[in-house]
């Protein structure tokens, strides 16, 4: 009896990339639209700022400013988006350094990925006046760890090159 190989299930990457593009470009578009002085764009920028600052960001007052207008999310949330992009790029490139992380079952992997969010909470509670650079770095770390978990459970997104040249898909 011969067995035919079964193709690994893969999800398309475009939903992830579309979400990432919106999360990265949306906060940049808000101050651009608000500064445009075009009534429709100003209204759209105001709507986007309200949406992002209520649905995504807990502290929109701690945002970077562009064109004398606030971004749609705080520096920490924008850093998280940058971290998500870095995780995706790391996963696409493949790295033997990710093998120990991917060797874990998905639930312990989630626990490990959640650890940097404790720094996020600590920073919000204990250091409410932390500089924006610290918020950005804190967000990038949390976003990177969350992104690694997401791409590790997204079928076909993560390929970690093993030492013998093979690939290990995240479980």
For residues 169 and 159, the answer to whether their CB atoms sit within 8 Å is yes
Q: What share of residues in the chain are helix, strand, coil (percent, to 5)?
A: 65, 5, 30
Q: What whole-number distance in Å separates Cα of residue 27 and Cα of residue 63?
A: 10
Q: What whole-number distance in Å separates Cα of residue 105 and Cα of residue 102?
A: 8
Q: Is 60 exceeded by the pLDDT of residue 24?
A: yes
For residues 161 and 167, the answer to whether their CB atoms sit within 8 Å is yes
pLDDT digits (tens, 9 = 90+) for 31-59: 888 788 788 888 887 777 777 777 777 77
pLDDT digits (tens, 9 = 90+) for 148-159: 888 888 777 765
């Amino acid at each position: 009896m011969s067995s035919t190989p079964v193709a690994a299930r893969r999800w398309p990457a475009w939903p992830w990339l579309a979400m990432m593009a919106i999360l990265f470009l949306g906060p940049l578009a808000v101050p651009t639209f608000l500064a445009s002085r075009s009534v429709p764009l100003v209204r759209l920028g105001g709507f986007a700022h309200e949406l992002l600052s209520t649905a995504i960001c807990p502290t929109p007052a701690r945002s970077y400013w562009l064109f004398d207008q606030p971004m749609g999310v705080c520096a920490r949330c924008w850093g998280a988006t940058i971290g998500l992009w870095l995780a995706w790029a790391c996963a696409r490139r493949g790295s033997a350094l990710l093998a120990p992380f991917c060797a874990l079952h998905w639930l312990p992997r989630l626990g490990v990925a959640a650890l940097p969010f404790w720094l996020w909470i600590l920073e919000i509670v204990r250091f409410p006046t932390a500089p924006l650079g610290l918020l950005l770095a804190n967000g990038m770390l949390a976003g990177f760890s969350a992104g690694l978990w997401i791409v590790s459970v997204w079928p076909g997104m993560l390929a970690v090159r093993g030492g013998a040249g093979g690939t290990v898909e995240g479980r």
